[in-house]
Amino acid sequence: MKFKFIKKLSCDNPMQCTERINKIFNEQFGENIEGAATWHFSIYHENNNHTIWVFFYDKNGEHESERHGMTVIQKLETVRKFTKPILTEKEIENLF
């Protein structure tokens, strides 16, 4: 399951920005354990126009991502189904 949204965030250091967002998501969704990822996120950093993708895995063994606007599914043994309640897109956006 993919959520994609744009936030009016500005940052001078994309690495620090990513770490800050990662901390927010880890607190909300739980940290991924090595070898058993249940979700991930990606960020395109542009001042006042950050595009953020959050993926919650629907099935064991299927990694979902986006490339050039297309959803890509890869078979990966380290992916586990996300079993917690999933927030709405608006609830995820409001974490910031």
How does pLDDT run along the chain (96 residues), one tens digit per residue? 899 999 998 899 999 999 999 999 999 998 887 778 899 999 999 988 999 999 999 989 999 988 888 889 999 999 999 999 989 989 998 988
Residue pair 2/54 in contact (Cβ under 8 Å)? The answer is: yes
- Residues 32-51 as b or e (16 or more Cβ within 10 Å = b): beeeebbbbbebebeeeebe
Signed CA dihedral, 80, 31, 21, 85: sign only:
positive
Q: pTM for this structure? A: 0.84
Question: Where exactly are the structural domains of the chain?
Answer: 2-93
